[in-house]
Amino acid sequence: KSAPFTGLAEEAIRTSLSLAEQSTRLDLLSSSVKVSPQQMPELYTSMENASRILDMQVVPELYVQSSSQANAFTLALQGRDNKPPIVVVTSALLDRCTDDEIEAIIGHELGHLKCSHSLYLTLGGLVSTPLRGLPLVGSQAEQLLQRWRLAAEYSCDRAALLVAQDVNVVAGAMLKLFAGTARATNTQAFIDQSREYEKLLKDANPIIRASIRMQQRTHPLPVKRVMELEKWFNSDEYKSILLENE
């Protein structure tokens, strides 16, 4: 935030994202189903619960979009025109996951909103763009931005856990998304799989480990997410947050 012209860049990004949000809202109202106390009230309650737990200033609008892909997304920015932010879940996601898992997934998307990830990741990309053509510095800037993107997903997984307050619920949602089927239900086996991965990775050839680290991803590896989530679930930090909110 202290970089030159950051304020101007932030204002420009907020304006462009606000326009994108207007377009997205109109598209969703015309072609998807808006959740309300009268329309799919159980989903509306899930959104209210997750918003309350994460202390959201405004309860976002929730839409259900017809799709064969199990997915959820948000523009990850609080609206500027006094309109609530938007969260979208797909029909395939609803068909695949339990109500508790859906609420945890909503919590993950609210984490993106709470942290304004769209704003700051876009700002980080703009700041790093002039550096990309420079030897060494350019690759370091890109690696830093990549780590930031992945860290954002870990933060939102923690938001999901704060909503669910059960690591098996969040891991169960991840398991069904990564497996692509509702038949994958053994979360403990998936957690054990993440431990197996961690052990094998430590014993792997350094070249293999380096190649895995250098892979460009929009999200962390599935087993890595589960592994990190379990670590945080057992941490003093997580327990202290729960105690503060009792």
Task: Please say if 10 is a catalytic residue.
Answer: no
The answer to whether the CB of 47 falls within 8 A of the CB of 106 is yes
- Name, in order, each residue with C-beta under 8 angstroms of 180's C-beta and a sequence gap of 6 or more: 70
- Name, in order, each residue with C-beta under 8 angstroms of 115's C-beta and a sequence gap of 6 or more: 76, 152, 155, 156
What residue type is 15 in one-letter code?
A: T
Which of the following is catalytic: 21, 101, 109, 230?
109
* DSSP conformation letters of 190-241: HHHHHHHHHHHHHHS-HHHHHHHHH---SS--HHHHHHHHHHHHTSHHHHHH
Residues classed as catalytic = 109
